[in-house]
A = this chain, B = another copy of it.
Amino acid sequence: MIEPLIECIPNFSEGRDTERIAAIVSAVEASPGVRVLDQTSDWDHNRTVVTFAGGPIAVVQAAVRATAEAAKLIDLNLHRGVHPRVGAVDVLPFVPLRSATLEDCARLARWAGERISSELGIPIYFYAAAATRPERIALEDIRRGQFEGLRDAVVEDPERRPDLGGPGLHPTAGAVIVGARKILIAFNVDLQTADLGVARGIARQIRASGGGFPAVKALGLPLLSRNLVQVSINLTDFEQTPLHIVYEEVVRLAALQGVGIEKSELIGLLPKSVMERGFAHFIKLPEFAPQKLIETQIAPLTFDRVEVPGLFLPGERLC
């Protein structure tokens, strides 16, 4: 039997203070049975995304520990950043990587949420495959108004109150949005302009909610530290909408306004097939497949030493 492997990608509302970031990542690393696979911090977003993996119990334990550490270090009342957030740990998704289903991850999310609520006193919203009602499936619906707006909204509006804990948010750590989902690609494209309208316009055109590509969420954000703007993209189903198609459309829409691409940015990890299909697309190589890679072909090769009667290799031996 292959042990289940779960990915967890907490988004922390701290992307500037390197000591705090190190302390939060250390809390994950110090938890037994998990491995940190990737870590990205952004000054403008003021946010750190950590990707780690492990077995189900270990992953939940590490998520709770990291949440405790983040809640100790982050005060949302003092937090400024261009990316929307409601919590010190803003989002906490669980993703099945191996020998696990989305339903398994939804149960892990519920369990993690219960522990965070009861042990740390931080209210919980469940989203995506762990949502408790349809209007909480989409992250952006839960996050509407951000920390400041949600903190006030829950006082008057029972509809917006947390699934666990509350009714008020935690005074400094806000709330954690915990969920289960498939692999998501978080991909940002930085535009060579400081005009936020350009990024917002492109985001509106490409996202599903604006009639754009299915499975695409997008925001236009200013990158104040670099005097640029960014189209920040979440691709929730890369099988349905390929990454390269979204990228090319951003390039095209920007070019229509005379704006070039500064560079792209990948937050977290990418499935290999996305690279393979992207490469084949960009280079117009329809027959391309992993079988056309030397490494794919030779990795499984083992040969017995062949003895051909009467044949020997002349001269010295190979190294």
Interface residues of A (CB under 8 A from B): 3-5, 7, 32-35, 37-38, 53-58, 60-61, 97-101, 104, 107-108, 111, 183, 189, 243-244, 247, 261-266, 269-272, 275-276, 278-279, 282-288, 291-298, 301, 303-306, 308, 311-316, 318-319
Contacts and interface: CB of A to CB of B under 8 A. Distances in A.
A195 B314 CA distance: 50
Contact of A100 (B4, B189, B291, B319): B319
Contacts of A306: 32-33, 54-55, 57-58, 61
Contacts of A293: 269-272, 275
Given A57-B312, A319-B4, A244 B301 contact: no
B38 A308 contact: no
Nearest to A315: B107
A58 B308 contact: yes
Count of chain copies: 2
Contacts of A291: 38
Contacts of A56: 313, 318
Given A38-B292, A100-B319, A314-B107, A3 B303 contact: yes
Contacts of A265: 285, 287
Nearest to A247: B283
Contacts of A4: 318-319
